[in-house]
Amino acid sequence: MSDKPLIPLRVRMVQDMTVRNFVPDTQREYIRAVKKLAAFLGRSPDTATAEDLRAFQLHLTQTGTNPPTINATVTALRFFFKVTLDRPETTRHLVFVFEPRKLPRKLPRVLPPEDVLRLLESAPNPKSKAALSVAYGAGLRAMEVVALKITDIDSQRMLIRVEMGKGRKDRFAMLSPQLLELLRDWYRIARPRLFLFPGRDKIGPMTPRQLNRICHMAAELAGLPTWVAPHTLRHSFATHLLEQHIDIRVIQVLLGHAKLDTTARYTQVATNIIREVMSPLDRLTPLVPKRDKPK
């Protein structure tokens, strides 16, 4: 399939999303959904009919795509055909998938502090080390790390301003003295103009995907498992704070969670806390009878 007919469509769709103030992550997800449709059709997506879209959703279901991903794809395609192509009737066969019950929620995977140190020390360059240190030292999401501007670092109050985080909410994150020194070292080396971690063009920010690749590279060099990702550092940040007996409501604010239940998941993986709890059995009178000394 030639890329030529896709370029004007892509530009127009990005413009339609930009004027509606869609965040970069949402824009990337929408573009990815349209590209999947084009790959399924084997031709430009604007030639799709209502039956083509029905066949595409059936294909997603038959290949085991989970319901949340199908629903996100439906939302993206409805936007593409309704707004960008002005053909809303084409999507009449697209439907949202409702789950009969929620999928079980997996516990977050965390690294012990010594493995986090190995990961950060294995970062291939100062930029990578500084970006990964922000993810762990402040507990930021990948999209929040790459969106940081130089002006977001408040060294006077030792805070990091996180603008338009998840849910389009602003908040403050902690800035530790050691993290501040790492960021200052990186600034002296690169002298970034606007974004703290610029991308390849030196103007816009690096992408979450680039940060993910950097993290996987550092994990491989450190001999860590392949499941290690930037969000693993955020999980580890929360868990290690819990193990230091920091109040869970403080951690909730630092992570930017709307519900305490989301933060409470980390109590299930804070192994130091679990080990420190005394079983009520140990408070009982010893159950094992004392043996008589041998004659």
Query: Would you please indicate which residues are annotated as catalytic (active-site) residues?
Result: 141, 166, 231, 234, 257, 266
Decide: residue 20, CB within 10 A, 0-12 exposed, 13-18 middle, 19+ buried.
exposed
* Strand ranges (E), 84-210: 153-154, 159-162, 171-174
- The first and second tokens of residue 84, run together, are 């960008």
Rg, the chain, Cα only? 24
Closest CA to 219 of 113, 116, 127, 145: 116
Cα(first)–Cα(last) distance of the chain, in Å? 91
Cβ 211 vs Cβ 218: under 8 Å: no
Distance CA 215, CA 134 (A): 12
Query: Please, what sign has the CA dihedral across residues 22, 25, 27, 29?
Result: negative
Q: Where are the beta strands (DSSP E) in 109-261?
A: 153-154, 159-162, 171-174
Cα dihedral value 124, 127, 131, 136, nearest 10: 50
The values of phi and psi at residue 24, to 5°, are -55, -40
H-only helix segments in 191-281? 208-222, 230-243, 248-255, 260-264, 271-276
3-state DSSP helix/strand/coil % of the chain, to nearest 5:
55, 5, 40
